[in-house]
Amino acid sequence: MAGEFTVTYKEGKSMLAKCGHGYKMLTGSLLFSDSYPNTAVWATSGEAMDLSKIFPKDLHIVLVEYYEGYKFTYDYTAKRIHVFVGASGVDAEVADEVNLSTAITDARFIAIGK
């Protein structure tokens, strides 16, 4: 859906794989919005991605694949995903209001937690 940040994963009981020791693994893909929110404040920049309903006890790790020159990091405190783009080996967060809806259409991710 263009215009909004969308997290997609298989619905239902089979959306999670059990990893052992009480951990679950979730896989899915990300479609970014047509106006990336970069407020220049780490806690409020990036797209909101709250997985606490799926992992109520502990979100151990979120990894997003490198996608068409874009890199990603997850802020576990603010529950937001940040997008970076680099030139000449220097990465910077994507500027405010940049349209990523056509640039990042299916970035796959994996999340592990309890």
Neighbours of 113 (CB within 10 A): 21
pTM across the whole model: 0.84
Give Cα 105 to chain centroid, integer Å. 12
Give Cα 47 to chain centroid, integer Å. 7
In this structure, which amino acid lies at residue 1? M
Residues of the chain with pLDDT under 70: 1-3, 10-16, 88
Please give the pLDDT value at position 20: 80
Across 50-75, b (16+ Cβ under 10 Å) vs e yields ebeeebeeebeebebeebeebebbbb
State how far the Cα of 30 lies from the Cα of 9, in Å rounded to an integer.
9
Tokens of 60: 């151990």
Tokens of 76: 């576990």
State how far the Cα of 51 lies from the Cα of 2, in Å rounded to an integer.
22
* 1 in a structural domain: no
State the residue range of the domain holding 44: 6-113
Please give the pLDDT value at position 5: 78
* 31 in a structural domain: yes
Strand partners, 67: 70
Instruction: Please state the domain count of the chain.
Output: 1
Contact 114, 53 (CB under 8 A): no
Query: In this structure, what CATH number is given to the domain that contains residue 75?
Result: 2.60.40
* 86 in a structural domain: yes
Please give the pLDDT value at position 10: 58
